[in-house]
Chains A and B, each alone.
Chain A
Amino acid sequence: MDKIICLGKNYLEHAHEMREETPDKPVLFIKPPSVLIEPKENGSVLLPWGRGAIHHECEVVFKLYKKNIIGLGLGLDLTLRDLQKTLKEKGHPWEISKTFKNSAIVTPIKGLRDFPKDWQDTPFSLRINGELRQEGCLSQARMKADEIIHYINEFFPLQDGDLVFTGTPKGVGPLQVGDVVELTYGPISHSFRLVDLG
C-alpha cells in the first residue's frame, strides 16, 4: 500500500461538535502505511497512552484498485486530541497528532459483493465496552463514494491498494487502556482490546 488518505469534516454534525468552521469541502490528509494495524478478532492494539487524550473517530474505509472501490472495512482514525488542539491554536500543521503507531485501525476488508447494494445507506457503529459511541451511514456524509474518489484524485496520485478513511460522524471521544472496541458494518463485526504500549 502506498498511503492512507483520510477525509476530515465530511459529516457536518462532527464538524459542529468540534466547534470549528466547516470548510466548503472536506479536509484531506494522509497517514503513512506504517501506522496501519489490522487487529485479529479479539486481538490487542498497543497505543501510546502517555501523550494526552487519544480520541476515536469511526469511519467507513475503502480499498481501491484502478480508482475503483473493491472492498470496504470499518476503521478508527485515532487522534492525539490535546496535541492536535494545541497545534491548531498555534496555526501549525497537525499531522503528528494523527500519525503515531497504530493510529489507523481497520477491520479485515470485505469485498463489495458481501455488502448490500445500498451499502452507503447501511449503518455502521462503534461500541466501547458494550456502549454505543458512534453510529452513522455514509449517505449522511457531505461527500459520497464516487465524489470522494473524484475529489481525492484531484490532489493525490491514487495507487492500487490505497485505503481511504471517509470521515467520522458525531460522537468522537476519548479511549482508555483496557477498552474493548467493537466495530460493526454490514457483514463486519470485529472486536479487539486496547492495551498499553509500555
Chain B
Amino acid sequence: MAQFHIRFGWWILDRRQLSHDILNYIERLRVMHDLAREQDYSVIKKEELLSDLAETVRLLEAKLKDLAQ
C-alpha cells in the first residue's frame, strides 16, 4: 500500500511538472509573439527567434502529448 502511495505521489508531481513546463512554453510563445508583432529583432535576431519558435512548438507538442496520456 505504501509503495502505491509513493508511486501515486510521484505521478502527481510528474504531471504538475509537465503542466509547469507547458505553461512556460506558452509564455515563451507569448513573448515571441510580441517580438514578432513589433518586428523587434534588436536583441533577439529574427533567425534566432524563428529557430526558438520551431523548438518551442516541438517541445510543447511533446509535453502536451505526455500530459494527455
Contacts and interface: CB of A to CB of B under 8 A. Distances in A.
Contact of A111 (B27, B28, B38): B38
A70 B24 contact: no
Size bracket of the B interface: 10 to 19
Interface stretch (B2-10, B11-19, B40-48, B61-69): B40-48
B42 A159 contact: no
A1 B43 contact: no
Given A70-B44, A161-B30, A65 B35 contact: yes
A196 interface: no
Interface string B30-56: 110001001010111000000010000
Interface of A: 1-2, 63, 65-66, 68-70, 111-113, 159-161
Interface of B: 24, 27-28, 30-31, 35, 38, 40, 42-44, 52
In order of increasing CB-CB distance, the 7 nearest A-B pairs are A113-B42, A111-B40, A160-B28, A161-B27, A70-B43, A161-B31, A65-B31
